[in-house]
Amino acid sequence: MSTRLSPLAIALLLLGLIVVHAQPPGPDMSVDAGVRTAVIEGMIRELTDFYVFPDMAAKMTQDIRRRQQAREYDSITTARQLAETLTTHLRAVSHDKHLDVRYSPNVLPTFPYPPPAPSPEDVDRQRAFISQLNFGFEKLERLAGNIGYVDLRAFMPPPLMGETAAAAMTFLGSVQALIVDLRQNGGGSPDGVALLASYFFDQPTRMNDIYDRPSNETRQFWTLPYVAGRRFVGKDVYLLTSAQTFSAAEDFAYGLKNQKRVTIVGEVTGGGAHPVGPRRLTDHFAVTVPMGRSISAITHTDWEGVGVEPDIRVAAPRALATAHLTALEKELPAVTEPPRKREISDAIERLKKELNSSKD
């Protein structure tokens, strides 16, 4: 058995892409009173030092101490049960879906804060691993009526996703409207969010800011003045969302919605607005600590705990057909060529039948 996490696992953990509250595969291990105490004391220390809201960290600490005194943890004998129980208890107080304790069968590396800048060799290794995920781009397609579609599963850092993003946006540059599917997107890099958002504006635009508690600084995130490939401006953009749309994917949706640049179709998103950092507790336990919060440059609020509200609210499985139909119905009145008008009219009828035959 390896004694370290793989470079891919480390990269995904640092990007916040590992499924929330899903413990990694591998053998469980037994825990005793010493391990339980070490994990709990380390967790409380990290929350006190790093959690974005100090008053909430104090409330969580108070609750954990109460449970300790009631000997609620004494009967826990496995690592997975300990991690899952502590996660449940922390979230019961904070309602923070980013916050969790995880167990790793392999010995965990240290997670310094702030993390060091990756070396060129680190970037090459990350690129090799993340290329297997096609840098988050699952599918590109030209739908009926010249509507573009991209299924985006993650936001990678710009040095990793930039080339693929440019190729994707160039491929989609001539469509009449664009559908970006975030229904299975669990988050990633805020810089990746700013990069992709840059394709939808013709000048630098301030999106969401991020406050970082450890440094007590707030960083502004702007779209870029230059992007490779083709921008997609002056055309409609639709975002598909589900309850699984989370973190950086919500950042993308929230920023674009507040700029009135997109129409969101689907379900209310998961409600995780706090950027996170992993903190090592013991060889086999870590806590994922929300260290900051997102702040809209327009509303001065975020989506933590409430999610991003869609403009057209439908069940996630119906979102694509609904967005496609909406785009075509908006496009049809301006079309004069008979073959194209017929193509769009036929597609509208097919989509209506599809939606009528299914239920929310």
Domain spans of the chain, in order of start: 7-103, 135-276+289-313
Q: Which amino acid is at 208?
A: N
Enter the DSSP assignment of 342: H
Cα angle vertex 235, ends 198, 183, to 5°?
65
Q: What is the pLDDT of residue 360?
A: 52
Choose which CATH entry (3.40.50.300, 3.40.50.150, 3.90.226.10, 3.10.620.30) describes domain 135-276+289-313: 3.90.226.10
- 3-state SS string for 262-331: CEEEECCCCCCCCCEEEEECCCCEEEEEECEEEEECCCCCCCCCCCCCCCEECCHHHHHHHHHHHHHHHH
Closest of 159, 162, 161 to residue 122, by C-alpha: 159
Token pair recorded at residue 250: 């919500």
* Residue whose tokens read 């995130």: 221
Cα distance between residue 189 and residue 107, in whole Å: 25
* Residue whose tokens read 């998103």: 269
Q: Which residues, including other chains, have CB under 8 Å from residue 59's CB and lie 6 or more apart? A: 93, 94
On the 0-12 / 13-18 / 19+ scale of CB atoms within 10 A, 304 is buried
Q: How many CA atoms are closer than 13 Å to the CA of 225, on its beta-carbon side?
A: 0
β strands within 197-235, DSSP E? 206-212, 217-222
Enter the DSSP assignment of 316: G
Give me the tens of pLDDT residue by residue for the chain, a chain 360 residues long.
222 333 334 444 444 444 344 566 679 999 999 999 999 999 999 999 999 999 999 999 999 999 999 999 999 999 999 999 999 999 999 999 889 999 999 999 888 877 788 788 887 888 888 999 999 999 999 999 999 999 999 999 998 999 999 999 999 999 999 999 999 999 999 999 999 999 999 999 999 999 999 999 999 999 999 999 999 999 999 999 999 999 999 999 999 999 999 999 999 999 999 888 899 999 999 999 999 999 998 999 999 989 999 999 999 999 999 999 999 999 999 999 999 999 999 999 999 999 999 775
Look at strands 285-290 and 276-280 and give their pairing: antiparallel
Enter the DSSP assignment of 220: E
Give me Rg for the CA atoms of the chain.
Answer: 22
Q: Which residues, including other chains, have CB under 8 Å from residue 236's CB and lie 6 or more apart? A: 176, 177, 178, 263, 327, 330
Bridge partner list, 150: 140, 180
The pTM (predicted TM-score) of the whole model is 0.85
Q: Is the dihedral of CA 151, 155, 156, 160 positive or negative?
A: positive
